[in-house]
Amino acid sequence: MIMIYSIYHLSLIAKDYIHILQYLIVDIMSEYENMRTADIVAEALLDWKVDVIFGLPGDGINGFMEALRQRQNKIKFVLVRHEESAAFMACAYAKYTGKLGACVATSGPGAIHLLNGLYDAKADNTPVIAITGTTYSDLINSSYQQDVNLLQLYSDVAVYNDMISVPEQAEMAVDIACRTALAQRGVSHLTIPIDIQEKKLSGKFSRHNVAYHTSDVYVAETIPSRSIIQKAAEILNSGSRIVILVGQGAIGAGDEVLAIAERLNAPVVKALLGKSVIPDDNPYSLGGLGLLGTEPFSDAMGEADTLFMVGTSFPYVDYLPKPGQARGIQIDIKPEKIGLRYPVEIGLVGDSRLILSALLPLLNQKGNLEFLKSKQEAMKNWNRLLSEKSTRTDKPIKPQVIAKAVSDEIEDNAIISVDCGTNTSWAARYIDIRKGMKFSVSGTLSSMANGLPYAIAAQIAFPERQSIAFVGDAGLTMLMGEFATAVQYNLPIKVIVIKNNTLGMIRWEQMGFLGNPEFGVEFSPIDWVKFAEACGGKGYSIREPFEVRSKLHQGMKERKPTIIEAYIDPFEPPMPPKVEMSFVTNLAKSFSKGQPYSRRIGLTLFRNQVHTSLKNIHSHSVKGK
């Protein structure tokens, strides 16, 4: 009887627990009850503060598009002309805002097209989530239309890569994807079969999947222990010729960088992605490094006894001090980047601004100004050289003249997006970044075609600010349809086109690096004014030196999307800060092998050398400039 009584009461207790559990499940389900998978994904993205998503619809993703349509007052969908642009825009949006970038594409070709822009995000450590469609769940791997193994395709580009197979998985998958993209500064990818997008949540979670166990909480601020910061301070205190190298990871920590520089009497060199960390006219700045850099940076790296790297993984290690020459310290948010480019003694993993703030009180004020003063004097001479090059009155117009005029015209809070090519050289040296400006480029991937999509994303993120795309005509041609996107959304971007009808950088690489004549680098011209007008925008053309300033000023004042094309000297070389004999030898080899424009190029080089030699005893003036 006792046993029967116990079993009876246990059964009653079990029934009570079941009722309670059922009540809890119903209560928990209330948020997403009867929601489709696509709706749950959209709601979860909202939880992660995703407010803009770039993309192009298709039958493989239309279920998710309906979720966006129903939430268009919460998430802005930006329709692009090519999915590659959507990924570039998501990357740029994340770079310029610090938020999570987002893009969407349909199954098969749409998802494939995203990849180049997503690799840009991966290479530049930028958090982006990509949502793609996949064919019906019961037809996967059956050679059905647009049936592509997207998980395999995205396995290299993504830090998190998953397929949502049931509605009960959706919120968890989005939480993990967003958190991982932010934490690892990379790309997350979620693909959803067509039929699963439409499937409604039933609450039938598996036994070990407790409903809604994940959250949308992410903590970004990290800092190492005081003891390791103290060790870094000891190394910096012992150095006498310290160089600070900053990159994208130091953006937002410019004041802290300058405070450290002042304490250590250390010049600051900026990787291109870190160009906006401190103003270009700051006395501690030595400008950029590498092929796009300055001569003073090169001398500073050759003399440094301590290298302090802040938020940079600059890939060209041959421009850094020789291993063993300088003691190294590095700050980076990603542990795997520590010691990747230079043999550092101390690696500080965490947020640059927090670490620099903790480091500053531990540093002694340096008294010896000799190293710093010598580099500041060298920068004055370098800037005089740049001034000479950027005020020439030659025809065809020198590209340096255009870049300097753009620099003088843009507003103090402008956002400058630069494409990849010879135009990158002119922007790096001649567009001066002032405090409050933003600047970016496809850095490590160095992809052409990013400039226009970047500028569109910047204008969407900051509608009240001036957004500039500084591009070459070859890079612009690749995704030129996005100018119509700017017109469609009434985005008053300004596109400055360095027009030479040539793959300029590739021409010089073929000649100067390999000693071969140029081949396959010339294009038929495009009338960018007519193109801009055909899209519904405005167009200006600069052909004469005296037009440069006036046409730029007119174009910059337009309230419509505007293209300003500048006909420039196609034979102006993007010279490195110090010309090595191997470069000259290779040019001579290319001439001897039949370089088609050898006389024009030789004359250009000769005239440039004459101008440089006479820079202190002549000046330029242009009537009407």
pLDDT band, residue 620 (cuts 50/70/90) = low
486 shares a domain with 418: yes
The answer as to whether 205 is a domain residue is: no
474 shares a domain with 432: yes
411 shares a domain with 553: yes
Q: Which residues 6+ apart lie within 8 Å of 21 measured at CB?
A: none
Instruction: State the CATH number of the domain containing residue 242.
Output: 3.40.50.1220
| Least reliable range by pLDDT among 28-42, 82-96, 430-444 | 28-42
Q: What is the pLDDT of residues 563-588, one digit of tens each?
A: 999 999 999 999 888 888 998 899 99
Name the pairing type of β-strands 101-105 and 562-567. Answer: unpaired
The answer as to whether 542 is a domain residue is: yes
pLDDT band, residue 15 (cuts 50/70/90) = low
**CA dist., res. 435 & res. 426, Å (int):** 20
23 shares a domain with 139: no
**452: nearest Cα among 423, 407, 495:** 495
176 CB-contact burial (10 Å; exposed 0-12 / middle 13-18 / buried 19+) = middle
Domain of residue 526, residue span: 390-613
Instruction: State the CATH number of the domain containing residue 94.
Output: 3.40.50.970
| Least reliable range by pLDDT among 85-89, 285-289, 571-575 | 571-575
The answer as to whether 474 is a domain residue is: yes
**CA dist., res. 24 & res. 35, Å (int):** 18
Q: How many structural domains comprise the chain?
A: 4
537 shares a domain with 413: yes
The tokens describing 394, both together, are: 């030659």
432 shares a domain with 352: no
435-462 mean pLDDT: 98
**CA dist., res. 232 & res. 250, Å (int):** 17
Final residue belonging to a domain, choices 377, 403, 420: 377
**347: nearest Cα among 333, 361, 358:** 333
451 shares a domain with 356: no
The confidence score (pLDDT) of residue 27 equals 46
44 shares a domain with 25: no
Final residue belonging to a domain, choices 181, 198, 215: 198
Q: Find the DSSP H helices in 278-417.
A: 295-303, 352-359, 370-389, 399-409
**Amino acid letter, 219:** V
**CA dist., res. 55 & res. 58, Å (int):** 10
The answer as to whether 246 is a domain residue is: yes
Mean pLDDT taken over the chain = 92
410 shares a domain with 496: yes
**CA dist., res. 165 & res. 41, Å (int):** 12
583 shares a domain with 457: yes
Starting at the edge strand found earlier in the chain, the sheet holding 327-332 runs 285-288, 268-270, 242-246, 306-310, 327-332, 346-349
Q: What is the pLDDT of residues 198-236, one digit of tens each?
A: 999 987 776 666 766 777 777 777 899 999 999 999 999
CB atoms within 10 A of CB 411: 13
The answer as to whether 620 is a domain residue is: no
The answer as to whether 192 is a domain residue is: yes
The answer as to whether 207 is a domain residue is: no
| Residue 2 in this model has a pLDDT that exceeds 70 | no
295-322 mean pLDDT: 95
Instruction: Tell me the torsion sign for CA atoms 249, 321, 427, 128.
Output: negative
The answer as to whether 621 is a domain residue is: no
466 shares a domain with 361: no
569 shares a domain with 487: yes
The confidence score (pLDDT) of residue 216 equals 74
Final residue belonging to a domain, choices 198, 214, 244: 198
